[in-house]
A and B are shown apart, each in its own frame.
Chain A
Amino acid sequence: MSHETAAAEYHPRALAHQFEDLGQQREAATLGMWVFLVTEVLFFGVLFATYSVYRSWYPGAFTAASHELLIWPGTINTAVLITSSLTMALAVHAAQTGERRLLMVFLVATMVLGVAFLGIKGFEYYTSFHEHHVPGPDFQFEAEYAQQAQIFFSLYFLMTGLHALHMIIGLGIMAVMLWLSWRGTINAEYYNPIEISGLYWHFVDIVWIFLFPLLYLIGRHG
């Protein structure tokens, strides 16, 4: 009896009234984020399905068009994103252990890497514009594949563009997380916002893990 009374009296500031305890609140937050991520999986899934259908129809054009993409910025960007996922995971770890300064350092590191990714992506887009690889009236490609290569580049810009948009939204989320951490809202007891923002960031990383080989690495041999 006395134990129950004590439990009822203990009410952390971060605990919303509809939850029994912080553990239940954390589970609900994680589950809710995953439900959102399912919709994201299907959102990108449609694009991957479209890509697969066109690639199976026009394998020659897709190989030729993929060869026009520079391999090194794509590879560096993959490494940059994986590193940002590491710093994100370490940020969540710092939040769990209540190391506020370290949490902020890792959040900033994640944002810096995110900006670096977008910078390199911007350089790639610039190169594509320069070489007339943007679908439209200015598009130039070897005559045999001129039409079909536009489909590859349309998908390239659509998929990497939507991925970049997710990165930009992620940077906004990280900025809010940095503010919450600075304000002291995040502590070892309540770190749900960092945890679920991390889920989002890692998801965006996973999308790139699939985009990279499918867009950059088709038939690189020979």
Chain B
Amino acid sequence: MAEHVLPKRVYYTVFGILMLCTYLTVQIAFIDLGAWNTVAALAIAVFKATIVVLFFMHVKYSTRLTWAVVIGSVFWLGILLALTFSDYLTRRWLTFG
């Protein structure tokens, strides 16, 4: 794969979006959305992490093998969280009467 030198404006744009998202996430935290506060905070965090991975970490321009490893990390993290939560967060479901 040929090296890919990104124009600097890509980095400045990503930086701007990250700063804007940081401002948004703080502002949203002060609005009462109930359970949606956590959802909104995590959604913004996932979005920020994604653009850091794609542009700052150059994954968008990486080989398929790198893509596979990056997606693999999310996949294994998903297994870790799903199996942990399926135990700990469902224990109370079994306490009858």
Identify the A interface with B (CB < 8 A). Answer: 23, 26-27, 30-31, 34-35, 37-38, 41-42, 45-46, 48-49, 52-53, 56, 71, 75, 78-79, 82-83, 85-86, 88-90, 93, 96-97, 195, 198-199, 202-203, 205-206, 209-210, 212-214, 217-222
Cα distance A30–B77 in the bound complex, in angstroms = 21
Chain A residues within an 8 Å CB radius of B25: 212-213, 217
Shortest C-beta distance, A19 to chain B (Å), equals 14
B89 A38 Cβ-Cβ under 8 A: no
Q: Is A88 touching B84 in the complex (CB atoms < 8 A)? A: no
- Taking CB atoms, residues of chain B closer than 8 Å to A45 are 77, 80-81
Q: Offer 26 A-B interface pairs, CB within 8 angstroms, sorted by A.
A: A27-B63, A34-B66, A37-B73, A38-B72, A41-B76, A42-B80, A45-B77, A48-B81, A53-B89, A56-B89, A71-B26, A79-B19, A82-B15, A82-B19, A85-B15, A85-B52, A85-B56, A86-B15, A89-B14, A198-B57, A202-B52, A203-B57, A209-B49, A210-B49, A213-B41, A217-B29
In Å, the complex CA distance between A41 and B76 comes to 9
Using CB atoms and an 8 Å cutoff, list the residues of chain B in contact with chain A: 1-3, 5-6, 8, 11-12, 14-15, 18-19, 22, 25-26, 29-33, 37-38, 41-42, 44-45, 48-49, 52-53, 55-58, 62-63, 65-66, 69-70, 72-74, 76-77, 80-81, 84-85, 88-89
Given contacts A42-B77, A206-B53, A210-B45, 19 further A-B contacts (CB under 8 A): A41-B73, A42-B80, A49-B80, A53-B88, A71-B26, A83-B15, A85-B15, A86-B15, A96-B3, A198-B57, A202-B53, A209-B45, A209-B52, A212-B22, A213-B44, A213-B45, A217-B29, A221-B33, A222-B32
